[in-house]
Chains A and B, each alone.
Chain A
Amino acid sequence: EIVLTQSPGTLSLSPGERATLSCRASQSVSSSYLAWYQQKPGQAPRLLIYGASSRATGIPDRFSGSGSGTDFTLTISRLEPEDFAVYYCQQYGIHQPFGQGTKLEIK
């Protein structure tokens, strides 16, 4: 079974800075089946990226995804105050594991 490991666990940055979040799979996965989600306290997760690099409907273009094989990255080019949240990667398959999450906090 595939395990997704996200790093760092916590990322402290300031608004306007660039954020780079990593998701590493324990074995090679199809980039078509890799998604990213944002979750704010008390809210359900929100889909950001699917297919490793395609933005979901309504997602600002400051969010971008990349990667292939075992290494995937979510990049937020210029942080807005509303971007501080927890981010999860997820792989689609018969089982659909999530990574453990990266908390993006205000520095």
Chain B
Amino acid sequence: EVQLVESGGGLIQPGGSLRLSCAASGFTVSSNYMSWVRQAPGKGLEWVSVIYSGGSTYYADSVKGRFTISRDNSKNTLYLQMNSLRAEDTAVYYCARDAVVPAAMGYYGMDVWGQGTTVTVSS
């Protein structure tokens, strides 16, 4: 079964750091484009970051320089390292598979999502 399971969320003080994990099963993380998407309480979806199968990474302006996306191929796991956290980073964080066929420039949507992990930044 194709599945994503996030972990690592919690309560953290402003200025602190947290690392989120997203364990995949049923497919290989390193062969896919993978994104992090967040949702602040009562708000809409906000794309945070993507890592391509080739290793390139991109970030939303709101997190650039503070967050780092990475993966561990041996663990088939995606990560989001979050530093210098702010109150406005409080959200449910989802990982998702971006179904992309780079050679054909085809995009088939974020077709697999985790259940989300909650990050609360507060003193």
- Give A contacts to B, CB under 8 Å: 1, 32-33, 35, 37, 39, 44-47, 49-51, 54, 56-57, 86, 88, 90, 92, 94-101
Contacts and interface: CB of A to CB of B under 8 A. Distances in A.
Interface of B: 35, 37, 44-47, 50, 58, 60-61, 94, 96, 98-100, 105-111, 113-116
Contacts of B100: 92
A51 B58 contact: no
A86 B106 CA distance: 26
Contact of B94 (A45, A97, A101): A45
Given A37-B110, A90-B47, A98-B46, A44 B94 contact: yes
Interface centre among B37, B98, B107, by most A CB within 10 Å?
B107
B44 A100 contact: yes
Which 5 residue pairs of A and B lie closest in terms of their CB atoms, listed nearest first?
A50-B109, A44-B113, A35-B109, A92-B107, A96-B47
Given A44-B94, A98-B44, A98-B46, A32 B109 contact: no
